[in-house]
């Protein structure tokens, strides 16, 4: 019932009742900012109402079980017309994304702009100390990240992204962050990437 206290969360749940979908699908369907959708999904995960399964770089969200769908149908059946309209606007989800499998929470990824900059403002606001320093950049431990989003707005060079919103050009940084705590492996991957892409970052002016 706490989950249903927000009209925005009701709309998200109505969409997920129709089919599992990604953050991008939900942003299109409910016409909210991505940050707002991520915030509501985090709340719904904490309440045990939805789950997220990683599919490559995307995370597909779904209702936790059919019991949730039954409660939603009984409690807010009047929102179903809106849900049907949302489903029409939402891109179709690949059948492979709905297969039964392990569900995981999304993590954040630190990407190229952090190399040789290493601004530590994000470390200061992280509530679980999941951001760590290596030779040339900072990385996020995906096992420790709780998807709180506190770090993203603090980064002065915009190097932090939700994994399912990471620009394609920086996909190598998924493996770089996921290599933690193997510092040697991370340093090797970062050096190779920086050399290949001629990275020459400088810290922003004070």
- The verdict on residue 172 lying in a domain is yes
The mean of the pLDDT values for the chain is 80
Q: Check residues 104 and 1 and name the one with the higher pLDDT.
A: 1
DSSP string, 108-148: EEE-GGGTTT---HHHHH-TT--EEE-SSSEEE-TTT----
* pLDDT digit string, tens, across residues 37-68: 888 888 888 888 888 877 666 778 888 877 77
Q: Domain span at residue 189? A: 108-196
Q: Which of 103-107, 109-113, 162-166 has the highest mean pLDDT?
A: 109-113
Domain boundary residue, one of 46, 78, 98: 98
The whole-number pLDDT of residue 44 equals: 86
Q: Check residues 149 and 119 and name the one with the higher pLDDT.
A: 119
CA dihedral 155, 159, 161, 164 (to 10 degrees): 180
Phi and psi (nearest 5°) for 108?
-100, 155
The CATH number assigned to the domain holding 62 equals 1.10.10.10
What's the pTM? Answer: 0.54
Confidence of residue 77 (pLDDT cuts 50, 70, 90): low
* pLDDT digit string, tens, across residues 60-75: 888 887 777 777 777 6
- The verdict on residue 74 lying in a domain is yes
Count of residues for the chain?
Answer: 206
* pLDDT digit string, tens, across residues 138-181: 999 987 887 788 899 999 999 999 887 889 999 999 999 999 99
Residue 93 pLDDT > 80 = no
Q: For the CA atoms of the chain, what is the radius of gyration?
A: 19
Same domain, 135 and 93: no
Same domain, 20 and 65: yes
- The verdict on residue 86 lying in a domain is yes
């Amino acid at each position: 019932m706490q989950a249903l206290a927000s009209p925005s969360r009701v709309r998200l749940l109505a969409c997920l009742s129709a089919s599992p979908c990604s953050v991008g699908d939900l942003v299109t369907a409910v016409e909210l900012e991505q940050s707002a959708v991520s915030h509501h999904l985090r709340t719904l995960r904490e309440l045990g109402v939805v789950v997220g399964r990683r599919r490559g770089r995307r995370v597909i969200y779904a209702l936790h079980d059919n019991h949730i769908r039954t409660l939603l149908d009984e409690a807010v059946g009047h929102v179903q017309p809106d849900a049907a309209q949302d489903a029409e606007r939402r891109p179709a989800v690949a059948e492979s994304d709905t297969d039964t499998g392990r569900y995981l929470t999304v993590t954040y990824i630190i990407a190229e702009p952090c190399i040789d900059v290493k601004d530590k403002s994000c470390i200061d606001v992280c509530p679980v100390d999941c951001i760590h320093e290596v030779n040339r950049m900072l990385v996020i431990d995906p096992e420790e990240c709780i998807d709180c989003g506190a770090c993203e707005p603090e980064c002065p060079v915009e190097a932090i992204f939700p994994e399912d919103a990471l620009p394609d050009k920086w996909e190598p940084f998924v493996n770089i962050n996921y290599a933690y705590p193997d510092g040697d492996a991370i340093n090797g991957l970062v050096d190779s990437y920086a050399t290949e892409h001629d990275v020459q970052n400088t810290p922003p002016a004070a």
